[in-house]
Structures are given as C-alpha cells and as structure tokens.
Chains A and B, each alone.
Chain A
C-alpha cells in the first residue's frame, strides 16, 4: 500500500510538471492553431535562468526559500521575455501564411534556442542546487512523498487555480476565450488580437518557467536538451487531453504522469515511454480529439 501511494505521489508530481508545460502548448494552439515547438526550450531557459540566479544568490548566503522565490521570479520574467520575443520574430510575420510555415519556423526556433544555450553555456550537465528545504517534521512520510513533491503539487495547484480565475473572470481571460473561439469576431468587438496572442505566450512561458525551476530542483541537474524531452512529453499530454482544451491539458498530464509512474514502479523504468505512448495511441484511436477535446477540430 505504501509503495502504491508512493507511485501515486510520484505520478502526480510528474503530472504537475507536465501540466505546467502542457498548458502553454494548449493555450497557444487554442489561440493561433500552432504547435509551438520552441515551448520546451522556453522551459529549459527558465531552468537555466534559475540556476544562474540561484548560484549567485547562494554565494551571498540568502536563506533557501528566498533564493527559491527570487530564482523563480527571475526565471518567469526571463522565459516570458523569450516567449514574447519568439512569437514576435518567428510567428507574427507568418500570420496568414500557409499552416506549414509557422510550424517550420517553430521547429527552427527550437533548434536555434537549444544550440544557443549549448554554446552560450555548456553542452554538459550542470548540477542544480537543492532549493527546496527538507524540514524534519516531514521525516515520517518522507519515503512516500518528499517536500519537493509536496512543493511541486502545491505550487501547481495554486497556479492552476489562479489561471482558472484569470481565464474565467477577467477581461483579459474573456478576450482570450473569445479569440480562440472566433478570431474574426474578436476583431469585430474590438479585441486587440495581437495583444491577446502576446499575453498568451507570456502566460504559457511563465508557467513553463515555473515548471523548469521545480523540476530542475527535483532532479538536480540540467542541460540544454531537457526542453526537448519534457516538451515532447508535455505535448503528448496536451494531445491526450485534447489540444486546445485547458482542463484537457491538465487531465492529460495527470493521466500521463500516473501511467508512467505505475509503468516504472510495477514493470520497469525501461518501459515508461512505451506505456506513455501506447496510451496516447489508444486514446487517439478511440477518442481522436483527445479526452476533453472537441470532436470537430481538424487543425493539425
């Protein structure tokens, strides 16, 4: 039973990280119908930013929680700036072009950012400092679920709640939903669609940055390639849940995280990806639009 719970928690932790990244894919897809292949790199840049800031702050001997928060804020700002810029330079000029053009531009952007970080930093793995403290009072359950897992779950929950409130109740959120449902009509009621698209990239990138900081702190090392792997998994989760659907991305992420966790725990970690992608194929056969996707979409 304890082992089972351990696997559940580890699945939920993975799922949370996937969700933080998958939301960026699904929101951008919902608004401009583009699979933003460079999104994984935004997450990787978040992790690198946090590493640099945390290293500097650690030298000054700041307390851990302060370092974590400051590093996370820096990561969010920096990733958001990258996400915003990528949209401006790589996608906006191609608006109105055939669908394939921005897709290729996105792949180019992804490769460019990977290589840029590899050259500017290093091709090797860098150790990532532990930023999440392990207080003594959690000792008894530490074998089932560590503080890092709890922190990841908690942060993800808070972020999801805030995002839901933003999208449901604010003027910006309504404009985002309207734009994704009918772009021409959004123009006609006076929405500045370009601004909405930029905001979507900024929000998606910020969420990815949070994911980047959390996972880097969890795993303890990063390199320029982590965005590619995490990106593919999160993208899978988004498709699983129904790309374009926000609750779908969250559900898909948890389904994927739990599947991987159980596959690793009860079968072998070698089969983790086999189970994950078999699940994807199965769901796409029986529910082509994904778990919560609308049946009508035919965009990819």
Chain B
C-alpha cells in the first residue's frame, strides 16, 4: 500500500532522514520504533506532505505522492494522528470530528462513521458540545484518533499515541487500534517509543536510529531480539 524508497528529508540544511526505505502492505499494522530525535515524526510528516523530502520516492498504491499538497494526500486516503494530538482547542468535540471529515461530501457515510465513533468512545458523545481543549489527555487522544477516522482513511499514521497516558488508558487505545485494523480494514503505521506495546500489536517493525533504519523484522522476532530488548524494552 505504501512504500518509501531512499527518502532523505532535511530541515533547512540539517538532514533528519537518511535513505529511508520501508514498505507497508494492505491490512498490516507496522510499527516504527526509535529513541527521541530518531526521526519518527519526521518520517510521518514526510508521508503526509507537511515536510517535502529532498530525495526519494513515496509510493501510495503505486502512485508517487512525494511533493503533493497535504490535502491531496488526505484525499487519497492517508490520515495522520500527530504527536501531541493537536486537538483544535476552541472547536467543540463534534466540530473536531467534522474537521476530520472535511474533504468528504457523503453526508450519510459521515453520520454512520460518527455513530461508530460514539459507540467506540461513548465519552466523546457525552462531551460532544464541549471545547476539545477541555478534554483530558486520554480523551484528547481518543478524539484525535476519531477525527482521523472520520476521513475514512485507508492508511492511518499514528505518532506516539501512548505519550503521556496512564498504562490503563494506553492499553485501551491500543485495543482500539487493533479493533480499527480488524473491523475497518484500516492499514496502520504506528510510531512508538513504547516499543514493547507497539511490537505486541504490530505484524512487523522497523527500528530507526539517528535518521537511519537499522533493523526490520517480524514483530515477535524483534521482541525476542536481545539488542532490541536492551535498547528499547528495558530488559
């Protein structure tokens, strides 16, 4: 579904990604793990077209999307839940969801998806008229994921959904991620520092160090790998 080939991304003259190549197949949950500053968010922003890589190709269903406008990329079927959630603070919960469906015109489908989301997260339904900025961290993460789902994406990019959440809430969010992958057949690219959890839900994983991919394997093999255990799992 998505393939990055030899992608180099820069911030001004500073290179953040070096020769990134990776592949995500339809229906998979793929995770990208790495330490602070490794370039995980930069990878997602490169895919979404917020930062345009200097070299390489980004193929989505065979089409090179590198250099396309962010709204075109959303229209094609890629949505991102960015790091730090980025809830529109003064828009109500319902309006935040509306914004997720910004490029859609099928009223009926939108309402179906809204109903599905309110079923998934009843708390959002209760709070639908409150400003998004008033929600707790966990609720904001639920809203951020829901907002992305309102676009009915084929590929969902998630940037550290566990950040700042209590273990219980994190578990709940990860359960939902699996559920979305199963029920909606949404392909998922999950960026995490919490490698343990991420590798438990993922099919395959990539390890990013200082802007370079240094390892890739099936998730259970990465979990069993002693280098990974030492570096990322704290074992």
CB-defined contacts of A174 to chain B, threshold 8 Å: 91, 95, 98-99, 102
Instruction: Report B63-113 residues with CB < 8 Å from chain A CB.
Output: 69-71, 74-75, 79-80, 82, 86-91, 95, 98-100, 102-103
Q: Once the chains are docked, how many angstroms separate the CA of A154 from the CA of B89?
A: 34
Smallest CB–CB gap between A100 and chain B, Å? Answer: 18
Q: Using Cβ atoms and an 8 Å threshold, which residues of chain B touch A192?
A: 69, 71
Give the residue of A181, A187, A190, A191 whose beta carbon is less than 8 angstroms from that of B91.
A181
The total of chain A residues at the interface (CB under 8 A) is 16
**Known contacts A181-B88, A182-B86; is A188 also within 8 Å of B75 by CB?**
no
Contact for B70 among A177, A181, A182, A188, CB less than 8 A? A188
Q: Is B186 an interface residue (CB 8 A)?
A: no
Is A189 close to B, CB under 8 A?
yes
Say how far A92's CB is from chain B's closest CB, in angstroms: 14
Instruction: Give Cα distance in the complex from A185 to B50, angstroms.
Output: 10
**Distance (Å) between the CB of A191 and the closest chain B CB?**
6
**Contact A189–B100 (Cβ < 8 Å):** yes
Q: Which residue of B79, B89, B103 is within 8 Å of A181 (Cβ)?
A: B89
Cβ B71 vs Cβ A177 within 8 A: no
**Cβ of B204 under 8 Å from chain A:** no
B147 within 8 Å of A by Cβ? yes
Is B48 close to A, CB under 8 A?
yes
Asked whether B102 lies within 8 Å of A188 as measured between CB atoms, the reply is no
Choice from B74, B89, B90, B98 contacting A188 with Cβ under 8 Å: B74
Q: How far is the CB of A128 from chain B (nearest CB, A)?
A: 41
Cα A121 to Cα B49 with chains together (Å): 46
Q: How far is the CA of A184 from the CA of B87 in the complex (A)?
A: 11
Whether, in the assembled complex, B33 has its beta carbon less than 8 Å from a beta carbon of chain A, the answer is: no
CB pair A190–B102 under 8 Å, yes or no, is yes
Query: Once the chains bind, are B79 and A188 in contact (CB under 8 Å)?
Result: yes
The CA of A185 and the CA of B91, in the complex, are separated in Å by: 13
Asked whether any CB of chain A lies closer than 8 Å to the CB of B29, the reply is no
The reply to whether A178 and B86 contact each other, CB–CB distance below 8 Å, is no
- Output the least CB separation between B110 and chain A (Å): 12
CA distance A189 to B86 in the complex (A): 11
Nearest A residue to B103 via CB reads A190
Given known pairs A171-B102, A178-B91, A178-B99, the reply for A187 and B71 (CB within 8 Å) is yes
Asked whether, in the complex, the Cβ of B71 is within 8 Å of the Cβ of A184, the reply is no
Q: How far is the CA of A173 from the CA of B103 in the complex (A)?
A: 14
CA distance A182 to B70 in the complex (A): 15
Q: How far is the CA of A182 from the CA of B83 in the complex (A)?
A: 13
Q: How far is the CA of A182 from the CA of B102 in the complex (A)?
A: 15
**A residues less than 8 Å from B50 (CB atoms):** 184, 187-188
B70 neighbours in A (Cβ, 8 Å): 187-188, 190
Asked whether any CB of chain B lies closer than 8 Å to the CB of A175, the reply is: yes
Q: Given the complex, which residues of B lie within 8 Å of A181, measured CB to CB? A: 88-91
Measured in the bound complex, the distance between the Cα atoms of B36 and A243 in whole Å is 36
A184 and B82 within 8 A (CB): yes
Nearest-Cβ distance from residue B125 to partner chain A, whole angstroms: 20
B residues near A (Cβ < 8 Å) are 48-50, 69-71, 74-75, 79-80, 82, 86-91, 95, 98-100, 102-103, 147, 151
Q: Given contacts A178-B99, A182-B86, could you give 8 more A-B pairs where the C-beta distance is less than 8 Å?
A: A174-B99, A175-B102, A178-B91, A188-B80, A189-B99, A189-B147, A190-B71, A190-B74
Which are the 5 A-B pairs with shortest beta-carbon distances? A190-B74, A185-B86, A187-B70, A190-B103, A190-B71
Q: List 8 A-B contacts (CB under 8 A).
A: A175-B102, A178-B91, A181-B88, A185-B87, A185-B88, A188-B70, A188-B80, A190-B151
